[in-house]
Amino acid sequence: MNVSSPEVASQTNELFEVSHTAFLDNRLGRAMIAGFTSVGLAAGGVVAEATSAEADAVSIHHVYHTGTDGLWLHPDAPTIQGAKSEVMPEGSEFAIDCFSLGDDVQGDNVWQFGRDIATGRQGYAADFYLDTKVTKGNEASQLLSQGEPQCGSEQQSTPTGLQPAQSVQPFLSFDRNAAARWALHHAKDTPPNDGSCTIFVSRALWNGGVPQSAEWNNNPMATKHGIREGSDDAWASQNFVDYMRTQPYAEIEPLGHMSAVNNNVPDAKLGDVIGYDWNDDGSVDHLAIVTGFSGQYPLVSGWSEKGDEALTYNQRGWTWSAVHNTWLQSEPGQANMTAELVHLRNDDDLNLIAGQ
């Protein structure tokens, strides 16, 4: 599966890869730095201090696990490709005012807005490389439960002289039942072309109310084979997942290597999407949409990868080959297959976070 590169500065390449360790997967090891009246960090002969009033208004955290490369500060928006104002060295203190949702950085799409204590510069910093007290997955809901406001919300207390950061709405109006009903009703249709699994998923989501965009849509498009309805992001599996990574309402959860031991996916909901990488080469090869459950075991629907082959079933277990009556990872060439969940946040998630 393709994971967005971490937002870290480097002399040879501004983005570099970091190893996935148990420490990164369990970020409860991060230190929460609080309860002080003044903090100073010398950098370039400048020492900045936070007063007791400032300490009450913000949380002070540190840049960590970037090695000697440090972390970029983005003054305008929570995006990897956006303007960069400086590099904060490893260990730098960062005063957080609020969080926003933006580009995915190693599975974490939360960005913290605040200022570099050493220089006073303001901007967004990728949460993945700050020692905020959250575990990997659903960082936004954890931060809200800890009392950190989302930028632009009524709860945000904006210090004098600072402009509120732009708020990004992470939830969408999405009728999960409508998407699942459409998928179950059309699963046995004859696919229009080879590799039609992604357009099937796209159309199911559109029928559930997920908005189309300039990149992901059902508009007529000229190809070398003629006119096709649907953009590349609506037809190609990896393109679809990459597009969803950029959306503030979507979360990508790696499910790891397929196993017959434990196939439960507790985070999956109706209308979520499961992507399959048949040979673990880092590229998603097939998509299916969740249309039911057996306990916490998702049932999925989709179109065959073969163009004119209609399915004889409208639903299967997500790890099961209904055609060959065996586990998917037991089929030839798929022993190392991996999968990932594309979770779409809708009003149900908003209610859960609000405690309703």
pLDDT in tens, 108-167: 889 999 899 888 888 899 999 999 888 877 788 888 888 888 887 544 443 433 333 333
Does 326 map to a domain? yes
Give the closest residue to 65 by CA, choosing from 90, 94, 96: 90
Structural domain boundaries enclosing 119: 22-145
Cβ neighbour number for residue 153 with a 10 Å cutoff:
12
Does 8 map to a domain? no
Could you tell me if 235 and 199 are in contact, meaning their C-beta atoms sit under 8 angstroms apart? yes
Whether 137 and 212 share a structural domain: no
Whether 234 and 130 share a structural domain: no
The CA angle 246-248-250, to the nearest 5 degrees, is 80
Could you tell me if 9 and 70 are in contact, meaning their C-beta atoms sit under 8 angstroms apart? yes
Does 159 map to a domain? no
Report the CATH number that the domain containing residue 239 is assigned in CATH: 3.90.1720.10
What pLDDT score was predicted for residue 306? 66
What pLDDT score was predicted for residue 158? 39
Does 231 map to a domain? yes
What pLDDT score was predicted for residue 350? 64
Q: Which of 96, 125, 145 is the last residue of a domain?
A: 145
pTM of the predicted structure, to 2 decimals: 0.54
What pLDDT score was predicted for residue 41? 29
Report the CATH number that the domain containing residue 85 is assigned in CATH: 2.30.30.40
What does the pLDDT look like over 7-43, one tens digit per residue?
A: 544 433 333 333 333 333 333 333 333 332 223 323 3
Give the closest residue to 69 by CA, choosing from 129, 119, 118, 111: 129
The CA angle 9-79-118, to the nearest 5 degrees, is 50
What pLDDT score was predicted for residue 261? 75
pLDDT < 70: residue spans in the chain: 1-58, 153-170, 305-308, 350-356
What pLDDT score was predicted for residue 159? 40
What pLDDT score was predicted for residue 307? 63
Whether 335 and 270 share a structural domain: yes
